[in-house]
Structure formats: structure tokens, C-alpha cells
Amino acid sequence: METFVGTTAPEFTLNAVVNGGEFTEVTSESLKGKWTVLLFYPLDFTFVCPTEILAYDDAQGKLSGLNAQVLGISVDSHFTHRVYVKTPRSEGGIEGVTMPLLADPGGVVARQFGVLTDAGVALRGLFLIDPEGTIQHATINNLPVGRNVDETIRVIEAFQFHAEHGEVCPANWTKDAKSMKPTDEGLKDYFKS
């Protein structure tokens, strides 16, 4: 199944590691009610991946303030995830990370979201899912380039602004910047000032 922006996110049930080492089960249904950043990454114990996981984990407070949560997901098992979150950073681990890491052995969910490579690992896919379960935003990077937490937060703020005010967010929009009404007059007004 290919996943497209504007469609309902695929359903899934996966084992996960949370709170630095506890096992739990996460379902797509359990994510509803909050904005969800689903962060696919290739593998534990690689190079760019820990920098992304640490950056998004550090941003959990800011995301929580936006009624948003972030979950990492790779083709590793939940057992490997637990070792990863218990391994010191100086040894290539991500000790101290508390955000959930979902286990997708075989890449079933990565395939549903269209990010599974022929080599059996996920590309760096980021999917922003609204509280009702609809995919509102997606970006996919090839393996060597990581994502930007600030851009993810900006996009969440833009979608929330639109939902609250009904106005649209032009290029380079940031919180408290000028928006526009989605009409011909609104566009003209936007360019007047």
C-alpha cells in the first residue's frame, strides 16, 4: 500500500521500547488524539540515526506543548532497541532517550508508508499525522541526510494555525507571521503589505 498525504495512516500494532528500556505495545489507534511525528530511520547503531533520535528526543517538551508526540521506528527488534537505549553515547548508543522506539522487523509498516528500501531498511521518512489519524505532511530523505526538528515544529504549528483560524500559511511562514485567507482577495491583501 502506498501512503499519501491527506489519507488515513495505515493501521499497525508494534512492539516498542519506552522510558529508556521498558517493553510495551503501540498501536496506530493509541496515537489518536495527539499530533504524531512518525520518524522512520534505517537502523540502530548507525551514524546519522542517533543524531536524529537525540534531537527529536530533546524536543519532546516542545512537541508536548503542541499536543504532539514523536515515535522512532526502524526494522530493528524491540530487543535491539532496548540495548541501543542502554548503550552509552560514547559507545554509539543513545543512552537516556525516552521517546518510544517502535520495532518493525521485516519492514511491514515501513513498506505500508512507502519508505522500505530493497536492502530491507527504511529511508528517513517523517510523517506528521493529525489527532484524527490523517497524514498531513510527509518528507523522505535518502540515507545520508538527517531531518530538522525546528522544521518539523514549524510544520506542526502551521497545520494547527490553519485548523484554528482557517487561514493558509504561505512560504516560509513561522508562528506569529502573516497568514492569508484562502481567497483571491486574501492573496491580494497578503501581497499589499
Measured between alpha carbons, how far is 160 from 139 in angstroms, rounded to an integer?
A: 18
- CATH code of the domain covering residue 115: 3.40.30.10
Which residues, 6+ apart, have CB-to-CB distance to 155 below 8 Å? 128, 137
Question: What per-residue confidence (pLDDT) applies to 3?
Answer: 62
Question: What per-residue confidence (pLDDT) applies to 2?
Answer: 64
> Is residue 8 a part of any domain in this protein?
no
> Is residue 60 a part of any domain in this protein?
yes
Same-domain status, 187 and 95: no
Catalytic residue among 16, 17, 49, 121: 49
Same-domain status, 53 and 102: yes
Task: Establish whether 49 is a catalytic residue.
Answer: yes
Question: How many domains in the chain?
Answer: 2
pLDDT higher than threshold 80 for residue 193 = no
Question: What per-residue confidence (pLDDT) applies to 27?
Answer: 97
Residue 22, phi then psi, degrees to nearest 5: -80, 140
Tell me the pLDDT band of 4, cut-offs 50, 70 and 90: confident
**What is the DSSP annotation of 3-34?**
--TTSBPPP-EEEEEETTTEEEEEETGGGTTS
pLDDT higher than threshold 70 for residue 102 = yes
- What is the SS3 assignment for 2? coil
> Is residue 5 a part of any domain in this protein?
no
Q: Taking Cα atoms as reference points, which of 153, 124, 128, 155 lies closest to residue 140?
A: 124
pLDDT higher than threshold 60 for residue 1 = no
Distance separating the N- and C-terminal Cα atoms of the chain: 45
Question: What per-residue confidence (pLDDT) applies to 69?
Answer: 98
What's the pLDDT tens digit per position in 51-94? Answer: 999 999 999 999 999 999 999 999 999 999 999 999 999 999 99
Residue 68: count other Cβ atoms within 10 Å of its Cβ: 23
What's the pLDDT tens digit per position in 120-177? Answer: 999 999 999 999 999 999 999 999 999 999 999 999 999 999 999 999 999 999 998 9
Same-domain status, 135 and 152: no
